[in-house]
Amino acid sequence: MKDRLKPLAGLLVGAALVPLQFALTLFHFRMGRAKAARARGDKGAISIELALAIIALVAVAGLVVAALYGLKTKVVEKVNQDPKYTGAAGLPAHP
């Protein structure tokens, strides 16, 4: 059973990271366009491409924050369900 779960888990993680991969690809594309505009000396295109690259970078940061927040929520739920951690700040409850 575990032999089947490892490839499936890899596929699920890969599918979850597709938006992040897309945003990083978009960022690299925009930076390439900004470098090309710099080589041409087109200052207007440089500023537009850098602004679009920053938007892509903010999207990447947002995806990372959303993933961390989701992970935090899952961990808090699991800790709350565990009877060992019934007290405040992980301390055992008083009898």
Give the distance from CA 49 to its chain's centroid. 23
Output the pLDDT for position 86.
61
pLDDT (tens place) for every residue of the chain, 95 residues total: 667 777 777 777 777 777 778 878 888 888 888 888 888 888 888 888 888 888 888 888 888 888 889 888 888 888 788 767 665 555 555 54
The pLDDT value given to residue 7: 75
In a domain, residue 95? The reply is no
Domain count, the chain: 1
Domain residue limits at 29: 15-79
Distance in angstroms (rounded) separating the CA atoms of residues 39 and 45 = 11
Tell me whether residue 89 is in a domain: no
